[in-house]
A and B are shown apart, each in its own frame.
Chain A
Amino acid sequence: MSGRTAFDVDLARTLIDRKRTLPGATLPILHDLLEQFGYIDDDAIPLIADALNISRAEALGVVSFYHDFRRSPVDGRVLKLCRAESCQAMGCEDLVSHLAVRHGVTVDGLDEGSGIRVESVYCLGNCALSPAALLDGEPIGRLDRDRLDALVAGAQRKMQ
């Protein structure tokens, strides 16, 4: 995800063309766009619709159904914080409030210059080492306040 680039129609079209003939190509295409640009730009919707011979409404319907396909660009790092039962039992909600109180970071809010966007996820399959998170795809187990402080500070440094 570190290789995110600004949205570009021609590049999007190339990515879409590469997978358009796969059976059930919508999700593979959206994942490629997500990986390239970090989000699904509204201008990609008609391109997908054209390529797959579906209506724009259908294409948008798929994008909006899945939590992964965020629709606004991300500047900094993405921390996916697990908030499911196992992590609840080990205090993930304390980490959510710590982020808000200490760092002014709202979970599931926009990153707006903070260098980090924190998104809720429900289970990362690391439940024996809860609380769990994924930082730009890298797993973190036994997350605590100190580690979180270091992650946020690291992301902010990267932004400057």
Chain B
Amino acid sequence: MSARVFVPADSSALSVGADAVAGAILDEARRRGVDTTIVRTGSRGLFWLEPLIEVETAAGRIGYGPVAPDEVARLFEAGFLTGGSHPKALGRVEDIPYLARQQRLIFARCGLTDPLSIDDYRRHGGLRGLEYALRLGPKATIEEILASGLRGRGGAGFPTGVKWRTTAGIEAEQKYVVCNADEGDSGTFADRMLMEGDPFLLIEGMAIAALSVGATKGYVYIRSEYPHAFAVFSRAIGRARAAGLLGPSVLGSGRAFDLEPRLGAGAYICGEETSLLESLEGKRGQIRVKPPLPAIAGLFGKPTVVNNVLSFASAPWILEHGAKAYADYGVGRSLGSQPFQLAGNVRHGGLVELAFGASLRDLVEGFGGGTRTGRPIRAVQVGGPLGAYFPASLLDTPLDYESMAAARGMLGHGGIVVFDDSVDMARQARFAFEFCAKESCGKCTPCRIGSTRGVETVDKIIAGRDRERNVQLLRDLCEVMTDGSLCALGGLTPLPVVSALDHFSEDFAGAPARVAAE
């Protein structure tokens, strides 16, 4: 029998040479006359171990990583095809504590299967959710999503079932489902990993949504910074169509649903749902004033469900296992699981899917193993560029929607970026404004003008000019932006700024004062 070796084709794995490793394995196998098949998978999300290759053995899948191409010959000598020992051997991948300690509902299959094989998908439990939804019918499917407590995973946390119910309740000859895959937050990569590693799950989730709200057409808006995700997902759509998962009769139900991938063009604001719709319509990605809600008048003015990748991807599990089983994960009003993403200056960066309620400390120290530079953690930004910076003293904050809000932060899309003690928090506050100025759509004044005034004011503080008055002015400006902006970009840019002012005021003391204090 041919030995099976699994090598990720996830773009993070590719970025550290996974293709070269796959090529080296094939070459070496040919040289030795060993029958070897390489299966390209998604990533398990243990990125510090990439390229992480796995071999199928009687004892399960044994991992080796990180593997460099010039180590491949040695691996063959060590008998890695049967799980032989080698300094890079990791044992059974599923037993690696980083993975074993997770609660993977959405990412259960990612890294295990061939992302483009619908047979593999079925063999690993795929399509059961959609099949059940088809038996259940639209109304009961939406009830199930409502009962699960699923909230929008893009960042806003709006109940997914409520969106679906709203769109379902409107009579219209055309409705749409739109997937927001414009994952622009720094420190986040879960959507990308899923689209590259288990794309049929997203397609299945979108089909469940479409059939329950009565939509026949869907769009997936993928950012252009993700060329590989776009390519893989586009191919997955083709395969899904060929397999009857998409098309005039979804899984033989007689009900039509089809999907089209669309590429963004480098505008962060298009992650805001109304900007995204404008962009899909071919316009500048300027936000729309709500109401009307997209659920009522969305794409091309038609009722439209807009959800994040992870929200759609949660639906199949909920349908398959039941709303109650899903709601058993999590705490309070934050139910189910959240794929957290560990990034920045962290030893063990990767994807950690856990029930809501784990502490920030458990993530950055327990899973992450502290900083990669080995220096003390000084700040952790949670929730992307619009999320707050937490000091080391607040690492015990639980990661759920309510606790994060109570700590004047937000969970956002679950990105966690670690900084060591070399970070200058006044510079980070300045960057928050700079980014907002760069990415503002320009529709409302607090965001368009406020962001630039913010950069200037932080510059004055850094230069030590009229420090106290300017800090006060900065706080006033943040209040205006919070209360007066039309969307989350202007409205939440103050979060990182104010958190930096509150928790790291020493960095705003201005250069001369800081030297004097030392």
Contacts and interface: CB of A to CB of B under 8 A. Distances in A.
A130 B300 contact: no
A28 B342 CA distance: 33
A27 B16 CA distance: 31
B435 interface: yes
A25 B282 contact: yes
A140 interface: yes
A138 interface: yes
Contacts of B420: 89
B279 A27 contact: yes
A139 B12 contact: yes
Interface residues of A, number: 44
Interface centre among B189, B423, B431 (most CB of A within 10 A): B189
Interface string A118-136: 0001111111111010100
B484 interface: no
A85 B285 contact: no
A139 B381 contact: no
B187 A68 contact: no
Given A122-B186, A129-B47, A139-B14, A31 B341 contact: no
Interface residues of B, number: 63
A125 B345 contact: no
B186 A90 contact: no
B11 A127 contact: no
Contacts of A23: 281, 300
A12 B324 CA distance: 55
Given A66-B266, A130-B343, A140 B189 contact: no
A90 B417 CA distance: 10
A85 B284 contact: no
Contacts of B188: 123, 125, 127
B128 to A, nearest CB: 29
A90 B262 CA distance: 31
Contact of B349 (A68, A85, A127, A137): A127
B232 to A, nearest CB: 13
B425 to A, nearest CB: 12
B244 interface: no
B258 interface: no
A110 interface: no
A154 interface: no
Given A89-B420, A126-B12, 6 more contacts: A26-B282, A30-B265, A89-B345, A128-B350, A134-B225, A137-B227
Interface of A: 23-28, 30-31, 52, 58, 61-62, 65-69, 80, 82, 84-90, 121-130, 132, 134, 137-142
23 contacts: A25-B282, A27-B264, A27-B265, A31-B265, A61-B284, A66-B264, A67-B267, A85-B431, A86-B343, A86-B415, A89-B419, A90-B345, A121-B266, A122-B439, A123-B183, A125-B226, A126-B15, A127-B189, A128-B48, A128-B343, A129-B12, A129-B349, A140-B15
